[in-house]
Amino acid sequence: MKFVDEFRDTEKAKTLTKEIHRLAKKLENKQGINQSRPLQIMEFCGGHTHTIFRYGIEQMLPDNIEMVHGPGCPVCVLPMGRVDDCVTLAERPEVIFTTFGDAMRVPGSKKSLLQAKADGADIRMTYSPMDALNLARTNPDREVIFFGLGFETTMPSTALTVLQAEREGINNFSLFCNHITTVPTIKAVLDSPDMQLDGFLAPGHVAMVIGERPFDFIAKDYHKPLVITGFEPLDILHSMWMLLKQINEDRSEVENQYTRIVPTEGNTPALEAISKVFEVREFFEWRGLGSIDHSGVRMKKEYTAYDAEQKFSVPNLKIADPKSCQCGEVVKGVIKPWDCKIFGTKCNPENPMGALMVSSEGACAAYYNNGYEKKIA
């Protein structure tokens, strides 16, 4: 890739769109296709959701194709109780609590991290866990906690930071681990009785770490086609064409559209770092999806000294979302964001009630920020 314009070429987009419409038309007469509803394609990753809305891709698709915006925004699926745990840790007088900026405004049951910062807690936004480690180096009299969250995409950098802290003997650094895993989550979505999915756009950045093979079960066991997808508009359109081609040909395979970035076997050094520091939790709570088995990781016993959950007292309470918030139904694709009773009124980017309105990758924020307020009642 020389220039990003190569992946935003208007003429190529028109050609792909034309081919998508042609393949979608063929499906109207295909045996075994349910004509009573649109073909439902889930883009799992919030980065894909952002691209789809920013470039108006959903409006370019034929009427018999519907995009379902999945749970692939790690900030959006952070349960309220874990936010409360963050606030509890951050309000300890000896602690400097560090986090990525998009987690600052996720609402807890009483306050967000941003509100806790306004109340006097020493909370600092960082661009990487290494920034947090550097704070620990330069503030040896303080306890520095890094809020680790994200899918397999961000796990390697967190794991490597813990290993670096161990090598240097930096004992005032610890991790509040909320990293989550992709494959068990997709399985939970497929097993949900509410879902009627026909194919997946798989997260390219996750696949960059874990490779292609962990997705094989989706094609083999659930008979759903899946395409590992990049994040530019032509990537999305190309992947949609690949999916429709599979459906027309009665194939269910894992295909890799993002070959310029994603190796078949994944990133071996990254996977080694992850396996050295982390182990799978028995279950982990997701906002809107409930508890999902083996969908999160925790630190291994060998790294207890760097585990904030072991080093400090954490309430670890389960807190239900406000009843008026319908993030769970949106995450599962049961309703569209504008169908939520408080979308755009009580819940908006300035005053988010639900997590999906906080992050720019959340479906509700994407709908609101890209002109879908016209649907507000």
Class of domain 1-322: alpha beta
Instruction: Spell out the alpha helix ranges (H) of 68-178.
Output: 80-90, 113-118, 129-138, 155-168
Instruction: Spell out the alpha helix ranges (H) of 61-128.
Output: 80-90, 113-118
Query: Where exactly are the structural domains of the chain?
Result: 1-322, 327-375
Q: At 374, is the pLDDT very low, low, confident or very high (cuts 50, 70, 90)?
A: very low
In this structure, the dihedral spanned by the alpha carbons of residues 183, 186, 188 and 194, taken in order and rounded to 10 degrees, is 180
Query: Which residues 6+ apart lie within 8 Å of 55 measured at CB?
Result: 8, 233, 236
Segments of the chain assigned E as strands:
39-45, 65-72, 95-99, 123-125, 143-150, 173-179, 199-203, 226-229, 254-256, 278-280, 283-286, 290-293, 297-299
Q: What is the pLDDT of residues 243-257, one digit of tens each?
A: 999 999 999 999 999
Strands 39-45 and 65-72: parallel
Whole-structure pTM value: 0.89
Query: Which residues 6+ apart lie within 8 Å of 85 measured at CB?
Result: 176, 314, 315, 316, 317
Q: At 377, is the pLDDT very low, low, confident or very high (cuts 50, 70, 90)?
A: very low
- Calculate the average pLDDT of the chain: 90
Q: Give the mean pLDDT of 52-78.
A: 88
Compute the half-sphere exposure of residue 58: CA atoms within 13 Å on the CB side of its CA.
21
Question: If residue 208 lies in a helix (H) or strand (E), which one and from where to where?
Answer: helix 204-210
Q: Is the pLDDT of residue 355 over 90?
A: no
3-state secondary structure string across 255-304: EECCCCCCCCCCCHHHHHHHHHHEEECCEEEECCCEEEECCEEEECHHHH
Q: What is the pLDDT of residues 297-350, one digit of tens each?
A: 999 999 999 999 999 988 888 887 777 888 777 876 778 888 888 998 888 887
The lowest-confidence range among 70-79, 217-226, 261-270 is 70-79
Q: What is the pLDDT of residues 173-182, one digit of tens each?
A: 999 999 999 9
